[in-house]
């Protein structure tokens, strides 16, 4: 996950311990466009559809993630994500994430590095 790309194995294990592992049925709306967001999701198994303004814009599968920016601010979600198949997810809440930043020296710097990486990737896609 690009947001955590600068994290050590130890940091990633801490994130995994703080996250909740969740199973959801097909058809479940995981996040809704315009709603407040406070969770980050990593897809461990299954498939989800991403839509914006009612139009399908992407399909996500194992290893994909969404909601990472919700860890950093409380802006409304910019898309709806719906489970197409039964799914297994790792979910990290804003509160758990915030406590890691407070408790682990240097974690915020690693996070900023990961965020910079994500922004660079976005810039490249935008200009292609």
State pLDDT tens for residues 100-128.
888 877 777 777 777 777 778 777 777 76
In the predicted model, is pLDDT for residue 7 greater than 90?
no
C-alpha distances out from residue 63 to 2, 58, 72, 90, Å? 11, 14, 21, 10
- CA–CA separation, 91 and 18 (whole Å): 9
What's the chain's average pLDDT?
87
C-alpha distance from residue 4 to each of 40, 43, 55, 80, 117 (Å): 12, 15, 29, 23, 10
* Each residue's pLDDT tens digit, 34-87: 999 899 899 999 999 999 999 999 999 998 888 888 887 888 999 999 999 999
Taking residues 20-38, what's their average pLDDT?
Answer: 96
pLDDT at 51: 97
pLDDT (average), residues 4-18: 83
Quote the tokens at residue 110.
């690693």
- Check residue 8 and give its pLDDT: 83
Higher-scoring residue by pLDDT: 8, 53: 53
């Amino acid at each position: 996950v690009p947001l955590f790309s600068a994290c050590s194995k130890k940091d990633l294990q801490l994130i995994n311990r703080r996250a909740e592992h969740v199973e959801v049925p097909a058809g479940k709306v995981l996040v809704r466009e315009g709603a407040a967001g406070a969770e980050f999701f990593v897809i461990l198994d299954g498939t989800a559809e991403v839509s914006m303004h009612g139009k399908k814009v992407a399909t996500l599968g194992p290893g994909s993630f969404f909601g990472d920016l919700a860890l950093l601010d409380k802006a409304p979600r910019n898309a709806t994500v719906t489970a197409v198949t039964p799914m297994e997810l790792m979910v990290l809440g804003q509160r758990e994430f915030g406590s890691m930043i407070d408790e682990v020296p240097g974690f915020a710097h690693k996070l900023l590095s990961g965020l910079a990486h994500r922004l660079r990737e976005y810039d490249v896609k935008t200009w292609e």
